[in-house]
A and B are shown apart, each in its own frame.
Chain A
Amino acid sequence: MKRHLNLTVNSEPRQILVEPYYSLLDMLRDELHLTGTKKGCDEGDCGACTVLLNGVPVTSCLVLAHSAHDAEVTTVEGLATREGLHPVQQAFAEYGGLQCGFCTPGLIMSAVGLLEKNFDPTEEEVRYAIGGNLCRCTGYTKVVQAIMAAAEQARP
């Protein structure tokens, strides 16, 4: 039976009715219609469903929705502001860090998660941080360039 779930999504407090067996991913997509977060493998391997849960990147397909009660969730929809795209999004656009775009929200969330923790990453650290995100188009080079550029721009 559906039960109430309280949490904050993209800075907005929400109360949602969710099935007990739903993943955070299915809740975001099916109940909140936040379809920026993608469902790729649904078993934690591809990283397309990456969101920030209380500030750290997680594969939302592996999180029980109800376990995220009282949590803060940030999806790719929560990054841009009225002023424009998030620096990481902007850099992906500028550097062409995407082709088909399916992995892009997940990669961007992993990059944002990395830069929250380490604002001056080496290329090796960037590659390590996106080790859980599969991209079958780009070969990662431009993705890495984009994240390095975003880091440089975000540095105080």
Chain B
Amino acid sequence: MARFEYLEAHTVRQALSMYRRHAPNVRYVAGSTDFLIRSRMGNWNPEYVVNIQHIPALQRTSFSRRNGLRLGALTTVQTLQDHESVQTHYPALAAAAASFAGVQVRNLATVGGNICNASPAGDTLPALLAFNAQCLSTGPEQGEQRSTALDEFFTGPGRTVLEPGELLTEIRLPRPEPNTGSLYIKHSPRGAMDIATVGVASAVTLAADRRTCKDVRIGLGAVAPTPIRAYAAEGILRGNEITPESLAACAEEARNTASPIDDVRGSAVYRKEIVGVLTLRTLERAVEMARDGTMAFETQRRLAVQAAF
């Protein structure tokens, strides 16, 4: 059994100072759903863990139409799924949460942990990318704060821009635009407790004419070294009329943007194909939602996981 000493912080300042005192053989943990697994596998062997789970300032979740959504880094994935404002204004994020592991893990896992672990297949990440999430973090030395676009946050599998000891504190999603729809679809061998073979989140905002695409953002998971935005695909649709042809062209470009690898969950060729399919499906649903208003959460949840076998 991996052994370590346990420290618990109750403020961000305390967490930073505990980290400094024991660096470099120290790790922050929150939900600990990834930490305990990697620790038992012997991948992570810190002498000290600093538990940040009980820092009240990182637990707050708030929404306003003016400021958008503010998620304390400790917001659990289950809270994302159940939160009325998330379901209403950021449906792709609620759907992503619903596709995440099982309820026992969702009750523990945090959105901050999902971001910091930086898995290319992290289920909340394509949706957070599609909503232009910003990551607020506090630096290890003077407690200096910075804000990084999620799109620039990941530097490789399991790697982020965070300096050692820097703490992700809050995730901000800009206010929802009117006439916007969004959906996340995860493709995986099993319908629960599985890692995405491919995950796609699309958010579409329609212009006042309800035919023109005012804005579109597409996040892709498990098809590149990090979760990515499909910028070229977005460019094809943005400012143009929504037609079956324009949606198909956009999906095709997303397929080209993906650079997946072969692994046990699917070959690279298969994954690219699925990116095209899921991009089209999420776009179509997002357009539907942008036109007709909200979609029942039960329906979104049903659509969110599309098991393969």
Contact = CB atoms under 8 A, between A and B. Distances in A.
B210 interface: no
B161 interface: no
A75 interface: no
A45 to B, nearest CB: 6
Nearest to A23: B36
B142 interface: no
Contacts of B235: none
Interface residues of A, number: 33
A47 B102 contact: yes
B4 A21 contact: yes
Interface string B78-109: 10000000000000000000000111110110
Given A20-B5, A21-B6, A64-B6, A132 B32 contact: no
B3 interface: yes
Given A53-B107, A110-B104, A132-B103, A62 B51 contact: no
A104 to B, nearest CB: 15
B269 interface: no
Contacts, number: 89
Q: Which of A50, A57, A114 has the most CB of B within 10 A?
A: A57
Interface in A25-58: 42-45, 47, 50, 53, 56-58
Contacts of A67: 8, 32, 51, 53-54
A63 B108 CA distance: 8
Contacts of A124: 302
A19 B6 CA distance: 9
Contacts of B39: 21
Nearest to B32: A64
A66 B53 CA distance: 11
Nearest to A133: B102
Q: Which of B40, B78, B101, B193 has the most CB of A within 10 A?
A: B193
Given A21-B3, A21-B4, A56-B78, A64 B36 contact: yes
A56 B101 contact: no
Given A20-B5, A21-B4, A62 B103 contact: no
B5 to A, nearest CB: 5
Given A44-B37, A50-B104, A56-B78, A62 B32 contact: yes
Contact of B105 (A42, A113, A129, A132): A132
B232 interface: no
14 contacts: A20-B3, A21-B2, A23-B36, A44-B104, A44-B105, A47-B102, A47-B104, A53-B107, A62-B33, A63-B108, A114-B103, A128-B192, A131-B191, A132-B104
Interface of A: 1, 3, 19-21, 23, 42-45, 47, 50, 53, 56-59, 61-64, 66-67, 110, 113-114, 124, 128-129, 131-134
Q: Nearest 7 A-B pairs (CB), nearest first? A: A132-B102, A131-B192, A20-B6, A59-B104, A62-B33, A56-B107, A43-B37
